Structure 1
Amino acid sequence: MKKLILVSALSLCSINAFADIAVIINPSNINTVDTDTIKKIYLGKSKSFSNGDKVNPVDQDGTSVADEFNDKVVGKSSSQLNAYWSKLIFTGKGTPPEKLASDQAVIDFVAANNDAIGYIDSAKVSDKVKVIATF
């Protein structure tokens, strides 16, 4: 019985360990983007914001934030997404988002580029960027 209680307690702690993911854009960008459009942007199926401006998505490389974003928003595991992009690259039908190493790198990139969209741990949001969705 003690083992069952311990396992249950650890499971609950691990569920709460996942942070919310904030999708961010440059503060000067006036576009709104819904969940479906965010998914399409990160799958290369949409290349512009609602007003027609080009979108420049950035991804994170091998972080837990990236894994959670891929699961919650894109609906694919990291390995499934890598296979998806490999096929598109091989056939010449797409180019994956640029990969950055950390939340701070994504914040800096988005803050410096009006057409950028990225995602970070919601606890890392600063006034340099604007949050358009949280997952």
Structure 2
Amino acid sequence: MKAILLTTVLMLSTSAHAVDVVVHPSNNAALDKGKIEQIFLGKLKTFDGSAKVIPISQVDSNPVTEEFNTKVVGRSASQLKAYWSKLLFTGKGQPPKSMANDQEVMKLVADNPNVIGYVTSGSADSNVKVLMSF
């Protein structure tokens, strides 16, 4: 009985913080993990060299943000703050706008084909397309 309970808790805890990268349903850009990382670091500014890309993040206090930063960008929150501080200071970039939750991200993505964001795995609705899961 204890083994079953432990297995269930482990499954729930690992899936609770999985991340889905979402785009507008009409977006057919071919993006891999590396390109998504570049977008969220301000290094890639278009989808497949055409449409401008607008990355949308979530607030640092949201667990999905830590998961995204670790799994996709490969940096901690403090490392990202230092990275963006340097770019802001030198005038070479601005961090993605941060939304409060999954619903706000999905609303922006659904309303604009140029937006890319991330949400907690399984929370995406039919108004957005899950591009990749981490």
Give the secondary-structure state (helix, strand or coil) at the position aligned to 1:27.
Answer: coil
In 1, the alpha carbon distance for the partners of 2:30 and 2:38 equals: 14
- Hey, which bits of structure 1, 4+ residues long, moved more than 6 A? none
Give the secondary-structure state (helix, strand or coil) at the position aligned to 1:68.
Answer: helix
Cα offset, 1:132, TM superposition: 0.7
Instruction: Find the counterpart in structure 2 of residue 48 from structure 1.
Output: 46
Q: What code does the residue aligned with 1:53 have?
A: A
Cα offset, 1:15, TM superposition: 4.8
Measured against aligned partners, the alpha-carbon deviations of 1:88-129 in whole angstroms (never above 9, x if no partner) come to: 001101111111110000000000001000000112111000
Measured against aligned partners, the alpha-carbon deviations of 1:2-56 in whole angstroms (never above 9, x if no partner) come to: xxx9xxx599478526432000000011212110000000011100011421001
Q: 2:14 aligned to 13, 16, 35, which one?
A: 16
Instruction: Find the counterpart in structure 1 of residue 103 from structure 2.
Output: 104
Q: What code does the residue aligned with 1:91 have?
A: T
Give the secondary-structure state (helix, strand or coil) at the position aligned to 1:131.
Answer: strand
Greater mean deviation of Cα atoms: 77-86 or 13-22:
13-22
Instruction: Find the counterpart in structure 2 of residue 121 from structure 1.
Output: 120
Instruction: Find the counterpart in structure 2 of residue 72 from structure 1.
Output: 71
In 1, the alpha carbon distance for the partners of 2:129 and 2:71 equals: 20
In 1, the alpha carbon distance for the partners of 2:54 and 2:15 equals: 30
In 2, the alpha carbon distance for the partners of 1:14 and 1:124 equals: 15
Q: What code does the residue aligned with 1:134 have?
A: S
In 1, the alpha carbon distance for the partners of 2:13 and 2:25 equals: 32
Q: What code does the residue aligned with 2:101 have?
A: S
Contact 1:27 1:130 in 2 (8 A): yes
In 2, the alpha carbon distance for the partners of 1:13 and 1:26 equals: 30
Contact 2:64 2:120 in 1 (8 A): yes
With normalisation by structure 2, the TM-score equals 0.88
Contact 2:16 2:121 in 1 (8 A): no
Give the secondary-structure state (helix, strand or coil) at the position aligned to 2:71.
Answer: helix
Structure 2: give runs of 5+ residues left out of the alignment: none
Contact 1:31 1:51 in 2 (8 A): no
Give the secondary-structure state (helix, strand or coil) at the position aligned to 1:22.
Answer: strand
Contact 2:17 2:63 in 1 (8 A): no
